[in-house]
Amino acid sequence: MQEKINTILMDALSIDKTKLNQNLKQIINELQNAFKNSKELILEANKIDKKNSNGFIIDLTIIDNIFENIKKEDLIYGSVTLSQKDNDKNLIYGKQIMDSGIVIVINDGNPYAIIEIILRNILAGNTTIITNNGYMYGTNQLIIQIVEGVLEQFNISKKLIQIYLTENYDDVLSNYANIDLVICIGDHNLQRLIAKKSNNRTIYSGYENFDLYIEDTTHLEFLNKIVNTGLNIQVYVNKNTEFDNNNSILVDDIDEAIAQINYNGNRYSSSIFTNSKENASKFVREVKTKIVTINTSPTIERLMDIKQADLVNEKTIVYPMNFKFNGGNNNIILNDTSII
């Protein structure tokens, strides 16, 4: 296994990103088209994963939303923003967006997280190695193939995005000298595990992992629908509340629920179902998650909490006002976002 990851890392080090730099917007548009044209294949692969008890049912509208959010990003590999002019010194200052390098994405196999982090790393110019234990294997393999196919249309090596399946993350993380950034997307247990093993700068996210506290079952049908989605939802139930779920954790009261979520939760999205205004307010104030909902599914807002700025480096540029790039006749205009 170590030989395989060594090969993957060596391939990642040799990627030529020239064509990537020149075609980023077109690549994202073509990827969106490719996913739209592959909807039936995605559903078929997803159906097989579900049949093998290795996944949940994919919602294609979430994939559409991911692309729409990605297309709004303006932190793009190679772009230059000229933001300040010093007339006294006759200088212009600017920033160029640079890649972070080789990024290891350790995740729980959730396809939405994989699609979004791949797209964000492509925009950042990063070489990405997706690493998980094979959850939703068929769906994720198809996702990788779709991305690889589009990259090759632009004469970019498909090795820009690679996948490595393992249950021993030491295989990858022991190669820390060749890794520039580690991203961990998963539940509390995965985050803690990687925190112990990673020697590189690491970003943690509980994206697509949810916590749900129930002390009122007025909307029982809706609650059952939430917990039966197949998503990673940890359910906490007040011991005085009748809610039949074998995987739930019984708690004495709201204080214990908040304590459990703050210590063992995923810190991404949590929800309380209650008829108490006091408990709802307490939950909102004290629970330590990035999204909090009341009497609403914790899955209603599904935005990745890793920002584009986390995935790029900025290079400072300083040059005289009369300097001309590329032999052109015109100076670069202040606030231009063209690529040098």
- Most confident residue range from 71-85, 122-136, 312-326: 122-136
**Are residues 147 and 40 part of one domain?**
yes
Q: Amino acid letter at 19?
A: K
**Are residues 151 and 275 part of one domain?**
no
**Are residues 95 and 26 part of one domain?**
yes
Residue by residue, DSSP assigns 224-261 as HHHHTS-SEEEEEEETTS----TT-EEESSHHHHHHHH
Q: Which residues pair with 315 in a beta bridge?
A: 96
pTM for the structure as a whole = 0.88
CB 169 within 8 A of CB 194: yes
**Are residues 268 and 188 part of one domain?**
no
Q: Average pLDDT for residues 80-87, to the nearest whole number?
A: 78
Give 80 or 231, the one with higher predicted confidence.
231
Indicate the number of domains in the chain.
2
pLDDT over threshold 70, residue 328 = no
Tens-place pLDDT, residues 96-122: 899 999 999 999 999 999 999 999 999
3-state secondary structure of 340: coil
Domain presence at residue 299: no
Domain presence at residue 332: no
**Are residues 161 and 176 part of one domain?**
yes
Tokens found for residue 130 = 């997706």
C-alpha dihedral over 189, 305, 300, 265, to 10 degrees? 20
End-to-end Cα distance, the chain = 41
pLDDT over threshold 90, residue 177 = yes
Phi-psi region of 99 (alpha: psi -120 to 50; beta: other; left: phi over 0): beta
Sequence-distant (≥ 6) Cβ neighbours of residue 138 within 8 angstroms = 45, 46, 48, 49, 54, 55
Residue 5: C-alpha distances to residues 1, 98, 122, 165, 179 (Å): 7, 25, 21, 10, 12
**Are residues 217 and 188 part of one domain?**
no
**Are residues 215 and 72 part of one domain?**
no
pLDDT at 133: 95
Q: Residue 221 belongs to what domain range?
A: 210-294
3-state secondary structure of 166: coil
Return the CATH number at 289.
3.40.309.10
pLDDT, averaged across the chain: 91
pLDDT over threshold 70, residue 163 = yes
Q: Average pLDDT for residues 153-167, to the nearest whole number?
A: 95
pLDDT at 230: 87
Domain presence at residue 19: yes
**Are residues 233 and 204 part of one domain?**
no
Q: Among 36-40, 100-104, 263-267, whose mean pLDDT is lowest? A: 263-267
Q: Average pLDDT for residues 79-93, to the nearest whole number?
A: 81
- Cα–chain center distance at 105: 9
pLDDT over threshold 70, residue 337 = no
Q: Among 185-189, 198-202, 328-332, whose mean pLDDT is lowest? A: 328-332
pLDDT grade, residue 333 (50/70/90)? very low
Q: Average pLDDT for residues 134-141, to the nearest whole number?
A: 97
Q: Which residues pair with 269 in a beta bridge?
A: 210, 291
CB 273 within 8 A of CB 295: yes
**Cα(263)–Cα(285) distance, rounded to whole angstroms?**
16
**Are residues 128 and 215 part of one domain?**
no
**Cα(337)–Cα(340) distance, rounded to whole angstroms?**
9
Domain presence at residue 32: yes
Domain presence at residue 99: yes
pLDDT at 332: 46
Give 119 or 321, the one with higher predicted confidence.
119
Domain presence at residue 181: yes
Minimal CA–CA distance to 76: which of 326, 276, 330, 314?
Answer: 314
pLDDT at 324: 66
**Are residues 234 and 313 part of one domain?**
no
**Are residues 128 and 54 part of one domain?**
yes
Tens-place pLDDT, residues 223-263: 999 999 889 999 999 999 989 888 899 999 999 999 999 99
**Are residues 170 and 24 part of one domain?**
yes
Q: Average pLDDT for residues 316-324, to the nearest whole number?
A: 79
pLDDT at 325: 58
Sequence-distant (≥ 6) Cβ neighbours of residue 67 within 8 angstroms = 28, 31, 32, 35, 119
Return the CATH number at 110.
3.40.605.10
Domain presence at residue 65: yes
Tens-place pLDDT, residues 285-301: 999 999 999 999 999 98
pLDDT at 236: 97
pLDDT at 216: 96
Residue by residue, DSSP assigns 19-88 as HHHHSHHHHHHHHHHHHHHTHHHHHHHHHHHHHTT------HHHHHHHHHHHTT----TTBEEEEEEETT
Domain presence at residue 337: no
